[in-house]
Amino acid sequence: MTKNDLTEAVRNVTNCPKRDADTLVDSVLDILKDTLASGEDVMISGFGKFVIQSKNDRLGRNPQTGEPLTITARKILTFKPSSLLKEEINRD
């Protein structure tokens, strides 16, 4: 599903104009992005939780040369689905 597909789905469910649905989807995505960028987790009841995790520096190797190098610290985004979402996905 793309952002355009999501906008179209919102438009169909709410019967609002495409411009309003696009604004709504953009607003929700911007709020999620800003919240995650500030370091806060985002939990959507019945859907799941987006979690920011920190990775420390670690030693790695260049796969082409085998030369050791340091992989710098970074933040990663993970998603943990709710039990309701898991049930919905696994329903036959």
Query: Measured in Å, how far apart are the chain's first and last C-alpha atoms?
Result: 21
The secondary element (H helix, E strand) that includes residue 52 is strand 48-55
Tokens found for residue 40: 């806060």
Residue pLDDT, tens place only, 24-77: 999 999 999 999 999 999 999 999 999 999 999 999 999 999 999 999 999 999
d(CA 63, CA 74): 20
Confidence check: pLDDT of 92 > 90 = no
Of 3.20.20.70, 3.40.50.2300, 4.10.520.10, 3.90.700.10, the CATH number of 43-92 is 4.10.520.10
Burial of 21 (0-12, 13-18, 19+ CB in 10 A): buried
In this structure, the number of other CB atoms found within 10 A of the CB of residue 7 comes to 19
The confidence band for 9, taking pLDDT boundaries of 50, 70 and 90, is: very high
